[in-house]
């Protein structure tokens, strides 16, 4: 018996926002002062650091729960299950349903309840709730689903990660170019197959690190100071991730009993190309070995950073053979890892 991902689904918005679309933005420093070089230089430097060429924004008619519902539909169909048999629906997000051209987050009712409503599930014993855990939210939802199943409280769970970050960014902040929209979903079940979730690791660093990502005012001093946007201390996050994520990955792998040579893929939160590459190099350096070619697929170049959606979307694309030159075969050992606001870190060792 094992606890496995039996179905995957994702929703990638159709609206493409390219780097050159930011050439006309008015980027400002945090104190509101003018940046001394042109937007073309700002965008080129941004691409060199993050690797992002374009990102996806949701249709104005859709909210985060809509995206989550569309991804969930695909995961349920892929798992070939009756949605009435779901015991839990866990929806990871960070900002709720923010309608286009508004500034207010709507989380009443919770997004998981909205998804359940859209799925037309009648069963009241299918419990729907949200999880706020920064970018590692989907992974933490999977860990919770596993706990319910191991405790005998559930047999089938739906875990969703959905976000519309494009609606909470400050357009006068260069960091706004990182963020994107999207959703990924997975069905987690108790099965007779071998493998599945072999180990997990989670940690919350809050003593000094809690506000590395935060809600703050626009860089444009003329805008309403009470309107808040997603902000980050990029350098601190970078250093924190490099110092802590590889250690969490190593601890998780050791718990699983698997060797570093067994790892076929590392699916890490698509936060920033340079940061993710530095994390994977430092992780393999802990084992005094080089990073294998193709072990860490990257979707950030075309999809940007959609927070909780990046890992399940990447996983779905690979297992559905929609990611060029990447595949996952039966029995492959995968290491999932994420880091984000809180600051939270988690990892899962999974055998496909």
DSSP characters for 175-237?
GGGGB-EEEEEEEEEEESSS-EEEEEEEEE--TTTTTSEEEE--S-TTS-TT--EEEE-HHHH
Within a 10 A sphere around the Cβ of 58, how many other Cβ atoms?
28
Residue that has been written with the tokens 């309403």 in this structure: 224
Strand partners, 20: none
d(CA 254, CA 350): 13
Per the prediction, the chain carries an average pLDDT of 95
Can you list the domains of the chain with their CATH numbers? Answer: 2-193 (3.40.47.10), 198-351 (3.40.47.10)
For the segment 178-182, the average pLDDT, to the nearest whole number, is 97
Chain-centroid distance, C-alpha 137: 7
Q: Is-contact 348 200, C-beta < 8 A? A: yes
**Could you report the per-residue pLDDT of 186-208, keeping only the tens digit for each?**
999 999 999 999 999 999 999 99
Burial class (CB in 10 A: 0-12, 13-18, 19+), 2: middle
List the alpha helices (DSSP H) in the chain.
39-50, 64-79, 111-119, 137-150, 234-256, 273-285, 300-303, 310-319
Instruction: Using the predicted structure, report yes or no on whether residue 103 has a pLDDT greater than 80.
Output: no
Confidence band of 226 (pLDDT split at 50, 70, 90): confident
**Could you report the per-residue pLDDT of 273-319, keeping only the tens digit for each?**
999 999 999 999 999 999 999 999 999 999 999 999 999 999 999 99
For the segment 113-124, the average pLDDT, to the nearest whole number, is 98
Instruction: Using the predicted structure, report yes or no on whether residue 104 has a pLDDT greater than 90.
Output: no
For the segment 241-267, the average pLDDT, to the nearest whole number, is 97
**Could you report the per-residue pLDDT of 132-160, keeping only the tens digit for each?**
999 999 999 999 999 999 999 999 999 99
Within a 10 A sphere around the Cβ of 4, how many other Cβ atoms?
23
Q: Taking the CA of residue 119 as centre, how many other CA atoms within 13 Å lie in the half-sphere pointing to its CB? A: 31
Instruction: Using the predicted structure, report yes or no on whether residue 1 has a pLDDT greater than 90.
Output: no
For the segment 22-29, the average pLDDT, to the nearest whole number, is 90
Q: Quote the pLDDT of residue 223.
A: 87
């Amino acid at each position: 018996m094992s606890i496995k991902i039996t179905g995957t689904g994702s929703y990638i918005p159709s609206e493409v926002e390219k780097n050159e679309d930011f050439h006309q933005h008015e980027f400002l420093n945090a104190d509101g002062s003018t940046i001394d070089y042109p937007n073309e230089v700002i965008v080129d430097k941004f691409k060199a650091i993050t690797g992002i060429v374009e990102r996806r924004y949701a249709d104005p008619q859709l909210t985060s729960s809509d995206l989550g519902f569309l991804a969930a539909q695909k995961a349920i169909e892929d798992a070939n299950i009756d949605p009435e048999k779901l015991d839990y629906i866990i929806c990871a997000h960070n900002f709720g349903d923010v309608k286009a051209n508004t500034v207010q987050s709507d989380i009443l009712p919770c997004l998981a309840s909205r998804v359940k409503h859209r799925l037309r599930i009648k069963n009241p014993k299918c419990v729907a709730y949200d999880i706020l855990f920064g970018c590692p939210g989907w992974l933490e939802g999977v860990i919770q689903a596993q706990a319910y199943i191991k405790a005998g409280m559930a047999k089938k769970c739906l875990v969703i990660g959905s976000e519309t970050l494009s609606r909470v960014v400050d357009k006068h902040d260069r960091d706004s170019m990182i963020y994107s929209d999207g959703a990924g979903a997975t069905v987690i079940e108790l099965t007779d197959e071998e493998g599945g979730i072999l180990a997990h690791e989670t940690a919350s660093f809050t003593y000094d690190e809690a506000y590395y990502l935060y809600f703050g005012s626009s860089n444009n001093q003329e805008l309403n100071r009470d309107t808040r946007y997603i902000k980050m201390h990029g350098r601190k996050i970078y250093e924190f991730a490099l110092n802590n994520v590889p250690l969490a990955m190593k601890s998780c792998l050791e718990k699983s009993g698997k060797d570093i040579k067994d790892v076929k893929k590392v699916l890490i939160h698509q936060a920033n190309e340079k940061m993710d590459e530095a994390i994977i190099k430092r992780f393999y350096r802990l084992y005094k070995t080089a990073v294998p070619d193709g072990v860490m697929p990257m979707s950030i170049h075309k999809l940007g950073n959609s927070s909780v959606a990046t890992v399940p979307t990447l996983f779905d694309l690979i297992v559905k053979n929609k990611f060029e030159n990447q595949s996952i075969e039966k029995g492959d050992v995968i290491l999932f890892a994420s880091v984000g606001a809180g600051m939270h870190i988690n990892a899962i060792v999974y055998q496909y």
